[in-house]
Structure 1
Amino acid sequence: MKRFGLLCMALILTACSEKEAAPEPVRPVLSVKVEALSEENLGRFAGSIQARYESNTGFRVGGRIASRNVDVGAEVQKGTLLATLDPSDQQNQLRSAQGDLARVQAQLINAQASARRQQALFDRGVGAQAQLDVANTDLKTTQASLDQARAAVNQSKDQLSYTELRADHKAVVTAWNAEAGQVVTAGQQVVTLAQPDIKEAVIDLPDTLVDQLPDDVVFSVAAQLDPSIHTTAIIREIEPQAQSATRTRRARLTLTDTPDGFRLGTAISVTLSSAIKPRIELPATALQEVEGKARIWVIDTQSKTVSPRDVTVISRTDSSVVLAGGVKDGERVVSAGVNSLKPGQSVKLDEDSQ
């Protein structure tokens, strides 16, 4: 009986020893790879691609628009007919001027004949000097009237040509401000033409941000529908005053290059960034507070074990923390479940981090 008791005690001690020697279970963890930030994101803003040079064109005479020959978005060449006015008034003015010219031309023929007759009589000694002077004066007056009539005809022809609105250069029609049948005045804006050769990015920036832009700010421009179409830009001009309704100032950016996908009117996304001293940003769940100190758990990717490391926090939000150091670029850090880890504990990495 005594031997049986000793045997049971030995078995119990052996079981306890094996239980104490059991290894820590492997714990699955989520993790992130550390990437040092060398740029500070100052914001992202929506904008569009526009032509640097635009012209608001109108007729040089007033009248009723008879036709509109092109639509918005059409590409036009120099001399392309854009719109016409009803030319009735200008045609009547031209006919009137041409009639006056014909009348003066007939008067000139008579004045020339009269001057020649008076000169012949005076040369034979039978004509008076006074009559010759009157004939020559009438001739000069009629000649001046002829020049005036010719100028009136040319002016009427110009007025008639002004009833046709033509493109002054190769352009794209971006807006119409009048329709067929509408009466417009001389110089009134009718159509907007944009030169497609030189394009730029246009965005509206908050007034408070404009005054704080650093000198080394970088503008990254990408198409909203296809971010793979992108380039960089620099500021060309910023409006000196903010718009009263939105408190924003319009900025025009010169593109470093112009990808083919950047057509006039393309919606773009512009990201502002500035170079900063390298720092680390991690999810807020990766940080553990122990006795007033901040620490993270770094994973040894070879042995699949974790170890704690003290860090210095620069700033934090509800979702992230920014560290001044304590971890190197490229290391892997546990991003969730840090409160249940122990030094040297084996972990199983999530599939996304492999």
Structure 2
Amino acid sequence: MTRLLLLTALLALAACSEKEAPPEPVRPVLSVEVKTLNQEDLGRFAGSIQARYESNVGFRIPGRIASRNVDVGAEVEKGALLATLDPTDQQNRLRAAQGDLARIEAQYINAQANARRQQQLFDRGVGAQAQLDIAQTDLKTTKASLDQAKASLSQAKDQLDYVQLRTDHKAVVTAWNAEAGQVVTAGQQVVTLAQPDIKEAVIDLPDTLVDQLPPDVVFLVAAQLDPSINTTATIREIEPQAQSATRTRRARLTLTETPPGFRLGTAISVTLSSAIKPRLELPVSVLQEVDGKTRIWVIDPQAQTVSPRDVTLISRNDSTVVLSGGVKAGQRVVTAGVNSLKPGQKVKIDEDSPR
């Protein structure tokens, strides 16, 4: 009887212990929303916005630069004066040409009068044929000299006009290669002009990457100071040879659109991406290795519980993993504390979890 009472007391005590067992704790977790990737990033590079068409212009004649009328960055209209040469030599040549023309014009008038007089004498029968021939020859020679003097005068006027360097189209001055007082030769590069209407992105790409670019590569071009100013671009041309010092090749990209914020010289950041088969990319911290299998913990948002899910990896690096399946876009998976979870365990999603 005593034993029976003792057994009954022990059972009652055990029942009370079971009733008073604390519930499973709710574990706070960090999580991330699964998203599908359709683009693969190939790298990010710095560059600048430049004009597609640039021209290096100079004076048509040699001389000493007397003035420089615009600065770098100035926007100039067609016909604007950029710089001038000292016009002293050209003015002297013009005056000499004008003097030669006046002298030969006088000679031509005399030659005309002489030829006319010899013709009249010959017609009356008192003049010799030889004298008439000489007068007519002198007239033709003087006429040729007169034409040459007129051409020399026209050339001298042009030379005087060439002391002024003007634009033949609307442009932006991007560089000066000569200063006032400097002596330049004919055709020497003096100033660089860019046509602002058509702009493009210019970057330097590693030589090894250029050879691996897929045909459908897409460039995302964004202003470094304001990434919200952005557009896409495609390759227009790539230098055929790499620069020996940097082993890079300059690439020029045609912009899909040209935002107003893309001014000439704007520093840009260019991200390369290529279309790929849709895949799932997650932080490497979501993985848990159990009995040779790889799994992740998926959160049930309604029940606020977690459940393990076996997955297959496509690729993996130090920070991310690419999965072939096992989870869908829009679901949330645990990113921290996966080794201390149990199936069906209640969890609390941290509101500051990355998305």
**Superposition TM-score, scaled by structure 2 size:** 0.95
Between the two proteins, what is the percent identity of the paired residues? 78
Could you tell me how far 1:10 is from its partner in structure 2? 5.8
Q: After alignment, is 271-280 or 301-310 more displaced?
A: 271-280
Could you tell me how far 1:12 is from its partner in structure 2? 3.3
Give 2:32's aligned residue.
32
Note if 1:206 corresponds to 2:206: yes
Structure 1: how far apart are the matches of 2:232 and 2:321?
29
The verdict on how the C-alpha distance between 1:337 and 1:70 changes in structure 2, with shifts beyond 3 A counting, is: same
Query: 1:3-35, CA deviations, whole angstroms, 9 ceiling, x for partnerless residues?
Result: 997896466324421244x32100000000001
Structure 1: how far apart are the matches of 2:165 and 2:129?
56
The verdict on how the C-alpha distance between 1:212 and 1:3 changes in structure 2, with shifts beyond 3 A counting, is: closer
Give 1:197's aligned residue.
197
Query: 1:162-205, CA deviations, whole angstroms, 9 ceiling, x for partnerless residues?
Result: 11100011111111111111111110000011111111111111
Give 1:321's aligned residue.
321
Note if 1:18 corresponds to 2:23: no
Structure 2: how far apart are the matches of 1:279 and 1:166?
58
- For the residue of structure 2 that corresponds to 1:47, the secondary structure is strand
Give 1:65's aligned residue.
65
Note if 1:235 corresponds to 2:239: no
Structure 2: how far apart are the matches of 1:14 and 1:291?
37
Could you tell me how far 1:73 is from its partner in structure 2? 0.9
Give 1:261's aligned residue.
261
Output the amino acid matched with 1:40. E
Could you tell me how far 1:250 is from its partner in structure 2? 0.8
- For the residue of structure 2 that corresponds to 1:263, the secondary structure is coil
- For the residue of structure 2 that corresponds to 1:325, the secondary structure is coil
Give 2:111's aligned residue.
111
Q: After alignment, is 271-280 or 64-73 more displaced?
A: 271-280
Could you tell me how far 1:262 is from its partner in structure 2? 1.1
Structure 2: how far apart are the matches of 1:318 and 1:198?
42
Could you tell me how far 1:352 is from its partner in structure 2? 2.4
Structure 2: how far apart are the matches of 1:294 and 1:3?
53
Could you tell me how far 1:213 is from its partner in structure 2? 0.9
Alignment of 1:20-99 (within 5 A): 20=21, 22-99=22-99
Give 1:334's aligned residue.
334
- For the residue of structure 2 that corresponds to 1:73, the secondary structure is coil
Structure 2: how far apart are the matches of 1:3 and 1:208?
87
Structure 2: how far apart are the matches of 1:223 and 1:119?
85
Output the amino acid matched with 1:324. S
Q: Unpaired segments of 5 or more residues in structure 2?
A: none
Q: Unpaired segments of 5 or more residues in structure 1?
A: none
Query: 1:52-80, CA deviations, whole angstroms, 9 ceiling, x for partnerless residues?
Result: 11100000011110000011111111111
Query: 1:233-284, CA deviations, whole angstroms, 9 ceiling, x for partnerless residues?
Result: 1111111111111111111111111111111111111111111112111111
Give 2:161's aligned residue.
161
Output the amino acid matched with 1:113. A
Could you tell me how far 1:150 is from its partner in structure 2? 0.6
Output the amino acid matched with 1:17. E
Give 1:217's aligned residue.
217
Structure 1: how far apart are the matches of 2:171 and 2:92?
33
- For the residue of structure 1 that corresponds to 2:352, the secondary structure is helix
RMSD: 1.8
Alignment of 1:137-152 (within 5 A): 137-152=137-152
Query: 1:209-243, CA deviations, whole angstroms, 9 ceiling, x for partnerless residues?
Result: 11111111111111111111111111111111111
Structure 1: how far apart are the matches of 2:292 and 2:63?
82
Count of residue pairs brought into register by the alignment: 353
Query: 1:268-308, CA deviations, whole angstroms, 9 ceiling, x for partnerless residues?
Result: 11111111112111111111111111111000000100000
Give 1:347's aligned residue.
347
**Superposition TM-score, scaled by structure 1 size:** 0.96
